[in-house]
Chains A and B, each alone.
Chain A
Amino acid sequence: MSVAVPYTRSALTNPALWFWGVVFMAFWFVLGAYVFSSGLATDRAAEVGYTAAWFAVIALFSLTTLSITIAASVTYGTSALAFGFRYTRLTPSGFTLSLIAASTVVALVLGSVMTAVVSVLFSAHFGRPIYPANVPGIVGVVVLAGAFMMGLATALVLVVVNYLGLRHMSFVEFLPLILSYLFGFSQLFLALPAWFLYLSPWNDMESLLFQAYSGSPAHAVLGMTGSAALLWPVSAAALLGWVVLLVGIASGLLRRIRSVSIQEGRQI
């Protein structure tokens, strides 16, 4: 864990992560609670569903900002890692586990803040407590999300570093966030088939976060009970599968990491 602790400290003191992962997302919660909630039916079930949908979508975006931090860290550290695996006691598997541990802790911090902010804001606005129904459930999803973001960000960056050159690195670093917006909003507005939602890790996270907060199953259109209900064990199993797959790929790519100059990624 010797690398996990400084990595966690380094990530948690990153102002960009706090701004984009917390402040910017809290701004969206304010809009959700006080601006977009007009016209909502004043019964508790509607308020809980509405709050849980906001939590699921925005917490997903917040957790995905973590992937940018991880991707940038790996991009800037290729020489250090290539050297470290040869000439220090650091191993690729040890580094992978440390990065998972660090990502998980940071994800828990982000998830906790998101849960607290949404609970306070939406409860205050609706005038009654709208708290998460299943806090251990949220913790479980957030832990899986942290590991997923680590695996995804590291795998994407290392494919580029090892095989493609850095010309498109900025796009690759932001790709998880772009995909999270794409898939995250899709489930709010589109009736996508259940198999697609199960296969998509972003929709798995979103559905699980919704269910954990509301205590009710997520639906194909997230808060619309008329659409197909999603089975949380299937979403959880699919997300776990993605985590195992991506972490395995990332770990394999770390063993072949190529030292690159960050200047190679200069766009202009």
Chain B
Amino acid sequence: MAVFASAPARGIEAAASPALAFDRVSVRYPGSDRDALVGATLTVPPGGKAVVVGPNGSGKSTLLRAALGLCPVSEGVVRVLGRDVRTVRGETGVGTNLEEVYALMTVRVDGLVSLWARLQGRPDTEVRQWIDSFGLRTILARPLFRLSTGQKKLVGDLLALGFSPRLLLLDEPFDNVDFGRRRKLIDLLARSEAAVVMNTHEVDLLPSFPDWDLYFMWDGQLIGRFAVGELDRLYVSRGVRPGALATFRSSIGEISVTRDRGEVPMKGASNLDYLLDRIA
């Protein structure tokens, strides 16, 4: 029975393509009168790492859902591993921790790991080792819906990381995860050879990823690219400033992101809301 597709042929062109490319992508959900994502442009090369920071509801998850083909793209093109997301089929090089993609059926975590290994066509050895090393062996006998929020998040994280993906799309991977396991997860991410796009609203975590590209998400607008390493030099100011690295619209008008001078330094800010409050 042809349950599985054969692995897609990957030519030289696909190998040289960005792992993820957004070209002026807008997303509008049915019944909504505004775009959840507004003309987002983003390129992540193979092995590249990017973190997207923004408050809750800013559109970070929509960015990932668009890359996964889980929401309606109203404008622009999303390309994943060189292929238009609308035509992607049977591509096993993408991992994500979005809980909704693991809800195929009600199974215990043990069965979910085995099932996912079969669907990815790869062994589950690494995921099981990590589950042990994260001290999560006891959850194997329980269904996903019986786990705590943090445990569910970790299962998604490990399933995303565990099958040698070439592109990792991680939505708030540290949410409700305790400090010790956060450190382990950061180590795993640092060792991963995959291209990574990671969403977070926790600016405090950024120093753990000093070499990563940095984007901000505000009200559906993707702002960047910056570097995490230069975060201490970035400022935000009201209005369009000459030489601004980026500008975006907010409820208090246009905001500029500048380097080395400006109204409010990003250094020490826990989130974008805090910065805008200070400017206002």
Picked from A9, A80, A86, A165, the residue with its CB within 8 Å of the CB of B89 is: A86
- Cα distance A86–B71 when bound, in Å? 13
Return 17 A-B CB contacts under 8 Å, by A number: A2-B118, A2-B119, A3-B3, A9-B107, A79-B101, A81-B104, A83-B100, A86-B85, A86-B90, A86-B94, A87-B68, A87-B88, A87-B94, A89-B119, A91-B5, A94-B5, A97-B1
| Residue A77 interfacial (CB < 8 Å) | yes
**Residues of chain B whose beta carbon lies under 8 Å from any beta carbon of chain A:** 1-5, 7, 30, 65, 68-71, 85, 88-92, 94, 96, 98, 100-107, 111, 115-116, 118-121
For residue A14, which residues in chain B have a CB less than 8 angstroms away from its CB?
106
B4 touches A6 (CB 8 A): no
Of A10, A89, A93, A94, the residue contacting B92 (CB under 8 A) is A89
Given A93-B2, A94-B4, A79:B119 Cβ within 8 A: no
Q: Given A2-B118, A87-B91, are A7 and B105 also a contact pair (CB < 8 Å)? A: yes
A194 contacts chain B at the CB level, 8 A cutoff: no
Question: B103 to A88, Cβ gap below 8 A?
Answer: no
In the complex with contacts A2-B115, A2-B119, A89-B4, A80-B104 CB distance below 8 A = yes
Which chain A residue shows the least CB distance to B3? Answer: A94
Cα-based distance from A87 to B106 in the complex (angstroms): 20
A136-156 contact mask (Cβ, 8 Å, vs B): 1 or 0:
000000000000000000000
- Which A residues touch B96, using CB under 8 A? 83, 87
Interface centre among B3, B88, B92 (most CB of A within 10 A): B3
CB distance from A154 to the nearest CB of B (A): 14
**At the interface, yes or no: A73 with Cβ under 8 Å from chain B?**
yes
Which residues of B sit under 8 angstroms from A77, Cβ to Cβ? 103-105
Q: What's the Cα separation between A86 and B69 when bound, in Å?
A: 8
Contact with B along A88-101 (1 / 0, CB 8 A): 11110111011001
- Which of A4, A10, A83, A86 interacts with B106 by CB under 8 Å? A10
**A82 proximal to B (CB < 8 A):** yes
CA distance A3 to B204 in the complex (A): 41
A123 at the B interface (CB under 8 A): no
Among residues of A, the one whose C-beta sits closest to the C-beta of B94 is A87
Instruction: Give the 8 A-B residue pairs with the shortest CB-CB distance, closest first.
Output: A94-B3, A89-B4, A88-B119, A79-B100, A80-B104, A83-B101, A259-B70, A2-B118
Question: Closest B-chain residue to A102, C-beta based?
Answer: B105
Please state if A85 and B100 are interface contacts (CB–CB under 8 Å).
no
A195 within 8 A of partner (CB): no
A259 touches B100 (CB 8 A): yes
CB B145 to nearest CB in A, in angstroms, measures 11
Cβ contact within 8 Å between A91 and B104: no
**CB-nearest residue of chain B to A11:** B105
- Interface majority SS on B: helix, strand, loop or mixed? loop
A83 to B2 alpha-carbon distance, docked (Å): 18
Within 8 A of B (CB), among A40-86: 73, 76-77, 79-86
Chain B CB within 8 A of A1 CB: yes
Q: Which residues of B contact A84 (CB under 8 A)?
A: 101, 104, 119
Chain B residues whose C-beta falls within 8 Å of the C-beta of A101 in the assembled complex: 1
CB of B216, distance to nearest CB on chain A (Å): 26
Residue in chain A with minimal CB distance to B106: A10
0 or 1 for each of A236-264: is its CB under 8 Å from B? (1 = yes): 00000000000000000000000100000
In the complex, what's the smallest C-beta–C-beta distance from B193 to chain A, in angstroms? 18
For the complex, what is the distance from the CA of A222 to the CA of B267, rounded to whole Å? 80
* Chain A residues near B115 (CB-CB < 8 A): 2-3, 6
A9 to B102, CA, bound (A): 17
A sample of 5 more A-B contacts (CB under 8 A), given A77-B104, A89-B7, A89-B118, is: A1-B3, A10-B105, A79-B103, A87-B96, A91-B90
* Cβ of B279 to closest chain A Cβ, rounded Å: 34
Q: Is the CB of B102 within 8 A of A85?
A: no
- B107 surroundings in chain A (CB, below 8 A): 6, 9-10
Q: Is the CB of A80 within 8 A of B2?
A: no
Of the residues B69, B101, B121, contact of A80 by C-beta under 8 Å: B101
- Chain B residues, CB < 8 A from A2: 3-4, 115, 118-119
Bound Cα distance from A4 to B121, whole angstroms:
16
Question: Which residue from chain A places its CB closest to the CB of B95 in the assembled complex?
Answer: A87
Closest to A96 in B: B3
Contacts of A259 in B (CB 8 A): 65, 69-71, 100
Inter-chain contacts of A73 with B (CB < 8 A)? 105
How far, in Å, is B265 (CB) from chain A's closest CB? 38
CB distance from B116 to the nearest CB of A (A): 8
Q: How far is the CA of A165 from the CA of B29 in the complex (A)?
A: 12
Cα(A157)–Cα(B142), bound, Å: 28
Distance of A162 Cα from B69 Cα, bound (Å):
14
Cα(A10)–Cα(B108), bound, Å: 10
- Mark interface residues in A1-25 (1 if CB within 8 Å of B CB, else 0): 1111011011000100000000000
| Structural contact, A90 and B3, CB atoms closer than 8 A | yes
Contact of B70 among A79, A90, A95 (CB under 8 A): A79
Residue of B1, B111, B116 with most partner-chain A CB within 10 A? B1
